[in-house]
A = this chain, B = another copy of it.
Amino acid sequence: MPTDLAVDIERIGEDIPLLEAIRTTRAIRRLKPDPVPRALIRKVCEAGTFAPSGGNRQPWVFVAVTESERRAFIAERYRRVFHEYIAPAVEAAQAPDFPERKRRNIRAAMHLADTLHTVPVHLVVAGWTRRGQQQTQGLFPAIQNILLACRAVGLGASLTTVHTAVQREIDDYLNLSEETPSCALIPIGWPIGKYGTPPRRSVDECLYFERFSPEAN
């Protein structure tokens, strides 16, 4: 963590241009154990609150877990379901022609699962339900704002929903009721690696004018 950080939370990250940030916000899953100031967590969550939501209901609830025993509780349960989740990919990655880039991603995801207890912030995003339904569409725009804001202030982050397989157990532990279930986990910390352009298909493979015509692409 930069030593002058505490004095200047308001200024940090204010200069990076939007489009450059959008193009270089990749998932960062290798993180240092150094703590993150609460004021900085507040700053990235504040960015989340500017997202749109149906009827401007702002259904989000952010729970930043920083205490080590609490992170150990989450990490232990996350690991349990993660290994089941990733097993088919690990199996597929044995094939000699499996893309090396995907293999690296699997390794990074496994590294995150194995070190999750050391990641300084487990940001759990939950949301108020409406008519018994999670308002997913009102939560993921806020999550994206948070991921971009992490990029701006120099934090590494990634988005996972794997924990939902043990959601009730984790939600109970965090006092999240069925009226405010969690929907995503964002492990946040100071990055070991660098930001960079994530691997994506060209927009020209996804954008159509007037009507969808996949055969034309």
Contacts and interface: CB of A to CB of B under 8 A. Distances in A.
Interface string A179-193: 010011000000000
Contacts of A61: 206, 208, 212
Contacts of A204: 42
Interface string A119-153: 00000001000000000110111011101110110
A182 to B, nearest CB: 9
A16 interface: yes
Given A19-B14, A144-B141, A203-B46, A208 B62 contact: yes
A211 B139 CA distance: 19
A49 B201 contact: yes
A206 B149 CA distance: 17
Interface residues of A, number: 79
A56 interface: yes
Given A52-B158, A61-B212, A208-B61, A17 B14 contact: yes
A148 B142 CA distance: 12
B141 A58 contact: no
Nearest to A51: B144
A27 B46 contact: no
A211 B13 contact: no
B206 A70 contact: no
Nearest to A46: B203
B17 A208 contact: no
B17 A70 contact: no
8 contacts: A49-B200, A49-B206, A52-B147, A56-B198, A56-B199, A139-B140, A141-B143, A175-B211
Give the 3 A-B CB pairs with smallest separation, nearest first.
A140-B140, A141-B144, A46-B203
Given A14-B19, A42-B207, 6 more contacts: A19-B152, A42-B204, A48-B203, A55-B89, A144-B144, A175-B211
Interface of A: 13-23, 25, 27, 38, 41-42, 45-52, 54-56, 58, 60-67, 70, 89, 105, 126, 136-137, 139-141, 143-145, 147-149, 151-152, 158-159, 161, 173-176, 180, 183-184, 197-204, 206-213
